[in-house]
Structure 1
């Protein structure tokens, strides 16, 4: 681990949690941080352990999970670039409620929990910014839970693919940057279910390329309507809806 305030502050100022902060506060926060580089399948946070730090994911994907009353693992979410995890570290004498492990080689910024909590206590406006960002994240998770109840597996997968779709030569393409088994867990499916969902989506003009690493959508507007998203929204509003649903 290395401590590089200038480099860390350069990343923090573009993170949605901190992008409105003045430069002096960004630099002060950066002084509380460390770069962390982790290999694939490495535990970052373990449920039940004292919460000592938050992590801002810079590059990579991590899996947020829990154990139920029978000791079985359950996946809450997959998180990637720009997302913050470990908020329990802001609670005095708090403990992590969930576990976090890397799905691939991951770079993150570790933020000392106690020092960050003291910083927020001394910067009321920054504390409000953090509360707003965390509330937004909670609302997104609640919407995601609602999606699991109200839409079919193929529709949920379609929304996920639309969220990151990029227009290319008259169609839209989405790169799959995580394994399909991990994607299945994120969407509350099994690997077999996601295969059936992809087959169903093929009827809607969705096809796989580059050994399944690129998904091509022939008509994004038609797919969005089929998935239950409004076709009357503007492009920017529609993209926001895709992201919120995911």
Structure 2
């Protein structure tokens, strides 16, 4: 099985033909992602027939809150921001999502409206899945419907964990947990590449850019340093940082990346 990024190369996205319906290419991407990778090939091909390529430039609204929910989107390449506007007209960020993430799940509910707005942070390629057609597909495929229920439940649990982090941990601890969750081993240390602008990452973990800078400075006391013009964050001692961030010792003993991701 090709991994997600190998599949991108195979599907030849860079030829510019983002809107043509191509079941074989779409099915390859669907099957290499996390949501549909265990589906039988026949079901993948049937789902791919409900999909189209879409391409959005940076700072483009893909979905508006309260609009009729007509489609789901699998982000293939790029980053999007989920946001809301309260009754006083104040905007707030719910989350930032990137490659391989599914958004717009409200489209699976009959006559539903989108609960949040979604805007691209950079040029974004996605697979659009027709909501009504996908709902009909799931009604005829019970096991696939259970899979999608699991996806929606996992997303809800993730949002609840994020809410807990906002209420129970300091800004520096939240940043530390994010860095640990995305760290990869490099020699005797761990590096976390920043794949989005620091201002966007700050919004993702619930803080301003100024607070982000202060949090990063605080983490320097626990072996965190910046490299490559700030695009790579190095963690000298993951266990020390994890302990300070309040992660359980059982999570630390797990495989580094997976264990920390559970905590985020």
Does residue 205 of structure 2 align to residue 179 of structure 1? no
Shift of 1:220: 1.1
C-alpha distance in structure 1 between counterparts of 2:258 and 2:164, whole Å: 17
Does residue 175 of structure 2 align to residue 157 of structure 1? yes
Does residue 123 of structure 2 align to residue 105 of structure 1? yes
Shift of 1:77: 0.3
Does residue 257 of structure 2 align to residue 235 of structure 1? no
Aligned residues: 245
Note if contact 1:47-1:95 (Cα within 8 Å) is conserved in structure 2.
Answer: yes
Shift of 1:241: 4.0
Note if contact 2:184-2:190 (Cα within 8 Å) is conserved in structure 1.
Answer: yes
For residues 9-37 of structure 1, give each alpha carbon's deviation from its aligned partner in whole angstroms, at most 9, with x where no partner exists.
Answer: 11111222212210100010001001111
Note if contact 1:33-1:112 (Cα within 8 Å) is conserved in structure 2.
Answer: yes
C-alpha distance in structure 2 between counterparts of 1:110 and 1:141, whole Å: 23
C-alpha distance in structure 2 between counterparts of 1:206 and 1:173, whole Å: 10
Note if contact 2:183-2:257 (Cα within 8 Å) is conserved in structure 1.
Answer: no
Match of 1:6 in 2: 24
For residues 165-196 of structure 1, give each alpha carbon's deviation from its aligned partner in whole angstroms, at most 9, with x where no partner exists.
Answer: 11111111011111111111111101110000
C-alpha distance in structure 2 between counterparts of 1:242 and 1:232, whole Å: 10
Decide which of 74, 78, 84 is 1:60's aligned counterpart: 78
Q: Structure 1 regions of 5+ residues with no counterpart?
A: none
Match of 1:27 in 2: 45
Match of 1:87 in 2: 105
SS of 2:82's equivalent in the other structure is strand
Match of 1:189 in 2: 207
Note if contact 1:40-1:105 (Cα within 8 Å) is conserved in structure 2.
Answer: yes
Shift of 1:61: 0.7
Note if contact 1:66-1:99 (Cα within 8 Å) is conserved in structure 2.
Answer: yes
SS of 1:203's equivalent in the other structure is helix
Match of 2:7 in 1: none
TM-score normalised to structure 1 length: 0.96
TM-score normalised to structure 2 length: 0.90
For residues 120-145 of structure 1, give each alpha carbon's deviation from its aligned partner in whole angstroms, at most 9, with x where no partner exists.
Answer: 01101100110011101111110110
Match of 1:36 in 2: 54
SS of 2:222's equivalent in the other structure is coil
SS of 1:77's equivalent in the other structure is strand
Note if contact 1:3-1:33 (Cα within 8 Å) is conserved in structure 2.
Answer: yes
Question: Where has structure 1 moved over 6 Å in runs of 4 or more?
Answer: none
Match of 1:221 in 2: 239
For residues 150-176 of structure 1, give each alpha carbon's deviation from its aligned partner in whole angstroms, at most 9, with x where no partner exists.
Answer: 111000000001111111111110111
Note if contact 1:147-1:245 (Cα within 8 Å) is conserved in structure 2.
Answer: no
C-alpha distance in structure 2 between counterparts of 1:20 and 1:243, whole Å: 21
Shift of 1:65: 0.3
